[in-house]
């Protein structure tokens, strides 16, 4: 089974130094590929359907029979078994006049001049829709008079040619409408190995500065294969320069090298040019004989296919040409696959940054260990090792002690200023080690230490009271970090830096807001003739700052003003708006304004006060105990409930107006209701009616009305606590929003 990496990295092409003026059409089709394969072989080749009708044939096959074309004719019209010489009458149902199991046999074919042609053939079924067949033939006269050894060799060659053509044809036909990219190229590599009877097949993808191993056949798992080849390090430039597949042989070491015990370099023969050249042992493929096949797209090399044999063997030029046909046909599909896989790779890295941002938003306090772990996780995403560094005040860098088995201790041979240019101490920088002179110097030092030396240096600045810098490293057997991976490390660092700054700001805001709330603590003044109670419950244990507030203000003339509000948002802004609203409404109440005018004046005030889109819902009621009247303005707030104790009924105060602080032209109006002795008024925020049970069903207004009437009949004392317990039971103690409630029971109505 072939192994294909899930994170192909393909956004960059080889630089102009490896470009070739070798134009390959971007729309290579199966018929064009088939035609080319049929023409380049010295054998006669016929492809026919299960009905016997010839679909394709090359010029060599037609020439053997002295005709211009065989296409459209039935095979049994001109070919029959050798043991039954003479013309054969065709029948309606086609029966092949020879074996179709891949075995070699002899047949007689009718020549256009009326004579018979003796042929040696081999026919195989093609694995494609329609049960088509591939037939390769050679005149038996070539074998006449030959010795046994030569005959066997030629027959063996014929069998090999047939097998290779059949295998390549299968690859082309089976990939026409393939949608599963990973499986597609897995199958292609395995089929190439089987077709060429090779030891293994490798697939390298071209990056800006080299070739990256992205696929191997299962047979290569126990062999050492170079995972990355720097441009010009191996044999790839010779294939690129040739513009086509080349045949390569690994030569035996020279005597001088053996005497000097120089095993770092080996000589290789390019059979296309008969030139020899030396390459590093680390860049050698594990083959004695190889065919290197460059894959071109838009005049650029995008991949290199290597078909190799562990033992030295004679390589046929026709085999190289066949592999070129496969490469040209697959180039468009390969380019599309690489683009898709690169998109997936980028999306995976972007997803990690998004999840990191969410994690930072959910927490307000981070330690140095937290930061280090997040950097380590980011390095794992791009298969690099995280090496934290210490940065001194003068810019000296040293390896930070860790519990890693490969830990390094010591000062780095370069300074911060040599690796990156910073305009400020808090700037984020990420750079490839291979892109600067200082980076190369650091890479060489790391290699001397016996650890990974290819990767990136990242400087983050001050986080969690520490000046952060680190190395993201991988072995030189692997490719350098590409641009999107460098950008990923920079994005991670920026996200962490911004996230920690936001967390610190949130902590400061909470402290300020807490101070504001403590300064405007919700309280209900004592008013003669009114029993008052208020309750506030936060949806979360750590949400000590909420937007809900309430107040009861004692006014002259046996009057009082009750307020219950809910300001949108959280933190300092919401707390400061709540404080301003309570202060303003208290002042308006003492001026003797009616509730609608109080809210209208407050609306103009809020539109100029808050720079953010903060608004509030309010219930403002002025109680006249002497006259037994309640005048109210409900500005976007849930309707208050009035329980009539005498009749044990409940009234809904449903005169509604718009919210406060959202729009300039908003209409507000008063509602009025009579109140009697013993009546109870309940004010509440929408966190009460919008509480959900585990199945997601709202508590709702009907449940609240029934619970309010029931609990009011049980008495004013403890009524709000009982209502809150009802909510807790309904939600299984999982409130999703803050809850505030105010209860007023009128104990004395009339002139005092």
- pLDDT higher at 169 or 542: 169
Same domain membership, residue 99 and residue 195: no
Report if residue 529 sits inside a domain. Answer: yes
**pLDDT at residue number 39:** 67
**Domain finish residue from 344, 373, 391:** 344
d(CA 384, CA 392): 25
Residue 7 has pLDDT above 50, yes or no: no
- Taking residue 652's Cβ as centre, other Cβ atoms within 10 Å add up to 11
Which of 238-242, 518-522, 618-622 shows the lowest per-residue confidence on average (mean pLDDT)?
518-522
Give the model confidence (pLDDT) of 77-95 as tens digits.
Answer: 888 886 655 445 556 778 8
596, two tokens? 């609608």
Cα 249 versus chain centre, distance: 42
Reduced to 3 states, what is the DSSP secondary structure of residue 499? Answer: helix
Averaged pLDDT, 626-653: 93
Mean pLDDT in the chain? 79
367, two tokens? 């330690």
Same domain membership, residue 290 and residue 425: no
Same domain membership, residue 450 and residue 493: yes
**Domain finish residue from 511, 546, 568:** 511
Averaged pLDDT, 187-200: 85
d(CA 468, CA 446): 20
Residue 615 has pLDDT above 90, yes or no: no
**pLDDT at residue number 677:** 92
Report if residue 708 sits inside a domain. Answer: yes
**pLDDT at residue number 430:** 83
304, two tokens? 């290199």
720, two tokens? 């709000």
How would you list the strands of the sheet with 680-684, edge to edge? 530-537, 739-746, 680-684, 640-644, 649-653
Report if residue 566 sits inside a domain. Answer: yes
Work out the burial of residue 677: count CB atoms within 10 Å of its CB; fewer than 13 is exposed, 13-18 middle, 19 or more buried.
middle
142, two tokens? 């070539």
Long-range CB pairs of 509-513, under 8 A, 24+ apart, other chains included: 509/571, 509/572, 510/364, 510/544, 510/545, 510/571, 512/572, 512/575, 513/545, 513/570, 513/571, 513/572, 513/574, 513/575, 513/576
Share of the chain above pLDDT 70, in %: 77
d(CA 596, CA 594): 6
d(CA 526, CA 731): 33
Q: Which residues of 83-111 are buried (b: 16+ CB within 10 A; e: fewer)?
A: eeeeebebeeebeebbeeeeebeebbbbe
Averaged pLDDT, 101-110: 85
Looking up residue 590, the CATH number of its domain turns out to be: 3.60.40.10
Element housing 293 (H / E): strand 289-297
Same domain membership, residue 161 and residue 125: yes
d(CA 180, CA 595): 69
Q: Does residue 231 come out as left (phi exceeding 0), alpha (psi in the -120 to 50 range) or beta?
A: beta
Q: Specify the DSSP class assigned to residue 57.
A: E
Give the model confidence (pLDDT) of 300-337 as tens digits.
Answer: 888 899 999 999 888 888 888 888 878 887 787 778 77
Q: Specify the DSSP class assigned to residue 184.
A: H
**pLDDT at residue number 519:** 44
Count how many Cα atoms sit within 13 Å of the Cα of residue 259 in the half-sphere of its side chain. Answer: 3
| Residue 213 pLDDT grade (very low, low, confident, very high; cuts 50, 70, 90) | confident
Same domain membership, residue 151 and residue 118: yes
- Taking residue 283's Cβ as centre, other Cβ atoms within 10 Å add up to 18
**pLDDT at residue number 736:** 73
Cβ within 8 Å of residue 180, ≥6 positions away:
none
Is 628:661 a contact under the CB 8 Å cutoff?
no
Give the model confidence (pLDDT) of 42-60 as tens digits.
Answer: 688 888 888 899 988 888 8
Cβ within 8 Å of residue 277, ≥6 positions away:
238, 267, 268, 270
Pairing mode, if any, of strands 523-524 and 548-555?
parallel
Phi, psi at 405, each rounded to 5°:
-65, -25
Report if residue 696 sits inside a domain. Answer: yes
Averaged pLDDT, 188-215: 85
Count how many Cα atoms sit within 13 Å of the Cα of residue 636 in the half-sphere of its side chain. Answer: 19
Give the model confidence (pLDDT) of 330-384 as tens digits.
Answer: 787 778 777 777 788 888 999 998 888 887 776 667 777 888 888 899 999 988 9
41, two tokens? 């072989």
Same domain membership, residue 531 and residue 421: no
Q: At what angle do helices 595-609 and 571-590 cross, to 10 degrees?
A: 140
**pLDDT at residue number 147:** 45
| Residue 505 pLDDT grade (very low, low, confident, very high; cuts 50, 70, 90) | low
Cβ within 8 Å of residue 265, ≥6 positions away:
257, 278, 279, 280, 281
Which among 431, 412, 406 has a CA at the least distance from the CA of 421?
431
Q: What is the CA radius of gyration of the chain?
A: 42
d(CA 431, CA 480): 11
d(CA 93, CA 90): 9
Which among 205, 237, 202 has a CA at the least distance from the CA of 19?
237
Give the model confidence (pLDDT) of 110-146 as tens digits.
Answer: 888 877 888 888 888 876 556 788 888 888 754 444 4
| Total of domains in the chain | 4
Long-range CB pairs of 93-100, under 8 A, 24+ apart, other chains included: 94/50, 94/51, 94/52, 96/52, 96/123, 96/133, 98/123, 99/123, 100/124, 100/125, 100/133
Report if residue 349 sits inside a domain. Answer: no
**pLDDT at residue number 678:** 93
Same domain membership, residue 501 and residue 382: yes
Which of 454-458, 578-582, 587-591 shows the lowest per-residue confidence on average (mean pLDDT)?
578-582
Give the model confidence (pLDDT) of 689-724 as tens digits.
Answer: 999 998 989 999 999 999 999 999 999 899 999 999
d(CA 618, CA 634): 6
Same domain membership, residue 117 and residue 209: no
d(CA 609, CA 661): 9
**pLDDT at residue number 543:** 43
Q: Specify the DSSP class assigned to residue 637.
A: P
**Domain finish residue from 511, 534, 553:** 511
Reduced to 3 states, what is the DSSP secondary structure of residue 315? Answer: coil
Same domain membership, residue 184 and residue 168: no
Same domain membership, residue 552 and residue 425: no
Report if residue 200 sits inside a domain. Answer: yes
**pLDDT at residue number 619:** 95
Looking up residue 75, the CATH number of its domain turns out to be: 3.30.450.20
d(CA 675, CA 741): 19
**pLDDT at residue number 683:** 95
Averaged pLDDT, 209-225: 87
Phi, psi at 192, each rounded to 5°:
-60, -45
Same domain membership, residue 561 and residue 696: yes
Question: How many DSSP H helices and E strands does the chain contain?
Answer: 16, 33
Residue 12 has pLDDT above 80, yes or no: no
Same domain membership, residue 302 and residue 265: yes
Q: Which residues of 545-558 are buried (b: 16+ CB within 10 A; e: fewer)?
A: bbbbbbbbbebeeb
Which of 173-187, 190-204, 417-431, 602-616 shows the lowest per-residue confidence on average (mean pLDDT)?
173-187
Cα 14 versus chain centre, distance: 25
Looking up residue 504, the CATH number of its domain turns out to be: 3.30.450
Q: Where in the sequence is the domain holding 503, given as residue range(s)?
A: 363-511
d(CA 130, CA 45): 19
- pLDDT higher at 60 or 149: 60
Report if residue 204 sits inside a domain. Answer: yes
d(CA 169, CA 246): 21
Residue 247 has pLDDT above 50, yes or no: yes
| Residue 201 pLDDT grade (very low, low, confident, very high; cuts 50, 70, 90) | very high
d(CA 113, CA 136): 22
d(CA 81, CA 98): 6
Report if residue 353 sits inside a domain. Answer: no
| Residue 18 pLDDT grade (very low, low, confident, very high; cuts 50, 70, 90) | very low
d(CA 235, CA 569): 65
Averaged pLDDT, 561-569: 86
Which of 12-26, 95-109, 454-468, 523-537 shows the lowest per-residue confidence on average (mean pLDDT)?
12-26
Q: What is the pTM of this model?
A: 0.50
d(CA 556, CA 559): 6
Looking up residue 305, the CATH number of its domain turns out to be: 3.30.450.40
Which among 375, 377, 401 has a CA at the least distance from the CA of 390?
401
């Amino acid at each position: 089974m072939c192994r294909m990496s899930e994170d192909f990295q393909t956004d960059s092409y080889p630089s102009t130094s490896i470009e070739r003026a070798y134009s390959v059409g971007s729309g290579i089709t199966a018929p064009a590929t088939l035609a080319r394969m049929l023409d380049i072989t010295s054998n006669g080749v016929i492809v026919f359907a299960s009905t016997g009708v010839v679909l394709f044939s090359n010029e060599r096959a037609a020439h053997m029979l002295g005709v211009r074309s065989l296409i459209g004719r039935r095979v049994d019209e001109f070919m029959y078994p050798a043991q039954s010489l003479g013309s054969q009458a065709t029948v309606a149902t086609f029966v092949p006049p020879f074996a179709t199991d891949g075995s070699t046999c002899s047949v007689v074919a009718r020549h256009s001049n009326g004579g018979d042609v003796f042929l040696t053939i081999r026919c195989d079924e093609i694995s494609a829709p329609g049960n088509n067949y591939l037939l390769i033939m050679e005149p038996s006269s070539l074998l006449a008079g030959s010795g046994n050894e030569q005959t066997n060799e030629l027959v063996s060659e014929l069998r090999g040619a047939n097998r290779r053509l059949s295998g390549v044809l299968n690859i082309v036909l089976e990939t026409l409408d393939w949608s599963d990219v990973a499986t597609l190229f897995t199958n292609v590599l395995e089929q190439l190995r089987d077709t060429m009877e090779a030891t293994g097949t490798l697939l390298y993808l071209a990056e800006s500065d080299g070739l990256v191993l992205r696929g191997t056949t299962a047979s290569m798992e126990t062999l050492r294969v170079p995972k990355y080849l720097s441009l010009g390090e191996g044999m790839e430039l010779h294939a690129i320069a040739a513009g086509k597949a080349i045949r390569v042989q690994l030569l035996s070491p020279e005597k001088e090298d053996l005497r000097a015990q120089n095993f770092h370099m080996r000589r290789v023969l390019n059979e296309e040019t008969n030139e020899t050249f030396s390459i590093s042992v680390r860049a050698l493929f594990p083959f004695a004989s190889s065919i290197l096949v460059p894959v071109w797209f838009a005049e650029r090399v995008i991949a290199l296919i290597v078909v190799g044999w562990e033992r030295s063997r004679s390589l046929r030029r026709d085999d190289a040409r066949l592999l070129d046909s496969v490469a040209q046909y697959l180039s468009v599909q390969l380019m599309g696959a690489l683009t898709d896989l690169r998109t997936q790779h980028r999306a995976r890295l972007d997803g990690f940054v998004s999840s990191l941002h969410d994690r930072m938003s959910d927490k307000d306090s981070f330690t140095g260990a937290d930061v280090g772990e997040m950097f380590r996780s980011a390095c794992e995403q791009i298969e690099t090792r995280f090496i934290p560094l210490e940065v001194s005040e003068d810019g000296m860098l040293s390896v930070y002690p860790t519990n890693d088995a490969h830990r390094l201790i010591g000062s780095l041979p370069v300074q911060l200023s040599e690796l990156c240019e910073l305009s400020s101490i808090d700037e984020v920088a990420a750079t490839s080690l291979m892109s600067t002179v200082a980076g190369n110097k650091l890479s060489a030092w790391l290699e001397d230490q016996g650890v990974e030396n290819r990767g990136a240096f990242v400087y983050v600045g001050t986080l969690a009271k520490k000046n952060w810098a680190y190395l993201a490293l991988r072995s030189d057997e692997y490719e350098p970090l590409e641009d999107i991976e460098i950008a990923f490390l920079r994005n991670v660092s920026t996200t962490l830096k911004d996230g920690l700054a936001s967390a610190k700001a949130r902590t400061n805001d909470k402290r300020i807001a807490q101070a504001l709330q403590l300064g405007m603590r919700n309280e209900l003044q004592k008013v003669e003739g009114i029993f008052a109670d208020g309750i506030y419950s936060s949806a979360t244990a750590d949400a000590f700052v909420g937007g809900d507030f309430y107040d009861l203000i004692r006014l002259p003339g046996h009057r009082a003003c009750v307020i219950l509000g809910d300001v949108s948002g959280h933190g300092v802004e919401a707390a400061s708006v709540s404080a301003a609203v309570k202060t303003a409404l208290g002042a308006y109440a003492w001026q003797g304004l009616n509730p609608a005018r109080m809210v209208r004046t407050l609306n103009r005030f809020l539109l100029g006060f808050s720079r953010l889109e903060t608004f509030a819902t309010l219930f403002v009621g002025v109680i006249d105990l002497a006259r037994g009247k309640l005048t109210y303005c409900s500005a976007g707030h849930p309707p208050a409930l009035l329980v009539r104790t005498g009749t044990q009924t409940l009234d809904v105060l449903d005169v509604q107006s718009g919210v406060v602080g959202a729009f300039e032209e908003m209409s507000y109006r008063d509602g009025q209701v009579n109140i009697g002795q013993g009546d109870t008024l309940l004010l509440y925020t929408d966190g009460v009616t919008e509480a959900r049970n585990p199945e997601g069903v709202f508590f709702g207004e009907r449940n609240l009305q029934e619970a309010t009437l029931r609990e009011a009949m049980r008495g004013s004392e403890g009524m709000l606590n009982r209502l809150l317990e009802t909510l807790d039971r309904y939600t299984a103690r999982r409130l999703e929003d803050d809850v505030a409630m105010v209860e007023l029971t009128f104990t004395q109505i009339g002139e005092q």
